[in-house]
């Protein structure tokens, strides 16, 4: 029964594996693998609960962002994106607006032991206190690959909004799977 439970578990039939394990435990002198199966089922349930919590929290955060973005898009304001801003890593950037078009570029370190730099660009259209455009980050002077061969360059559509207090710009990737968030704070 333990072997059958493990086969069901490996095939993704968690509830069925649990039912078999519970029946096996009630029998006289169950095999020790039944208890291992129950322990594995408990670990798997814990992993799934953590993953679910992560998904729920991420969804709530994205929902809040979209709500604030929508308000910024439709509500007229006299606030401006233009000016000097700081990235979360303390890099000073300047944002220029011409005919409701936002343009900004800056350099930032690649991180780690490298002295290489990335050129980051943010460009797009302003509607009231909202922004829709493109975020692009490319390694200066070459390919943006890490030691492991993963591409570190970025190029995607993003959304943003200016906070009610005119002190922060929140940005996220339009595609939620990109997991991109950036917060800019006004440089006094």
- What global pTM score does this model have? 0.74
Burial of 57 (0-12, 13-18, 19+ CB in 10 A): exposed
106-138 tens-digit pLDDT: 998 877 666 788 999 999 999 999 999 999 999
Pairing of strands 130-139, 92-98: unpaired
CATH of segment(s) 77-186: 2.40.128
Task: Label residue 149 left, alpha or beta by phi (over 0 means left) and psi (-120 to 50 means alpha).
Answer: left
Helical ranges in 1-149 per DSSP H: 2-10, 14-26, 32-74
- Confidence band of 149 (pLDDT split at 50, 70, 90): very low
12-57 tens-digit pLDDT: 899 999 999 999 999 988 889 999 999 999 999 999 999 999 999 9
8 neighbors 20 (Cβ within 8 angstroms): yes
Distance (Å, rounded) from C-alpha 8 to C-alpha 126? Answer: 53
Hey, what are 77's tokens?
A: 């304001």
Average pLDDT, the chain: 90
Predicted confidence at residue 179, as pLDDT, reads: 86
């Amino acid at each position: 029964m333990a072997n059958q439970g493990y086969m069901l578990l490996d095939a993704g039939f968690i509830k069925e594996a649990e039912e078999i394990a519970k029946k096996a435990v009630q029998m006289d002198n169950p095999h020790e693998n039944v208890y291992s199966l129950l322990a594995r089922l408990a670990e798997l349930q814990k992993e799934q609960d953590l993953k679910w919590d992560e998904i729920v929290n991420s969804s709530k955060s994205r929902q809040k962002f979209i709500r604030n973005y929508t308000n910024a898009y439709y509500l007229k304001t006299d606030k401006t994106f233009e000016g000097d801003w700081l990235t979360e890593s303390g890099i000073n950037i300047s944002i220029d607006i011409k005919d409701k078009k936002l343009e900004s570029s800056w350099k930032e370190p690649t991180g780690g032991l490298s002295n290489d730099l990335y050129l980051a660009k943010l460009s797009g259209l302003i509607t009231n206190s909202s922004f829709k455009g493109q975020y692009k980050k490319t390694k200066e002077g070459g390919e943006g690959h890490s030691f492991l061969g993963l591409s570190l360059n970025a190029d995607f559509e993003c959304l943003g909004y200016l906070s009610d207090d005119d002190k922060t710009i929140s940005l996220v990737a339009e595609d939620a799977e990109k997991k991109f968030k950036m917060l800019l704070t006004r440089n006094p």
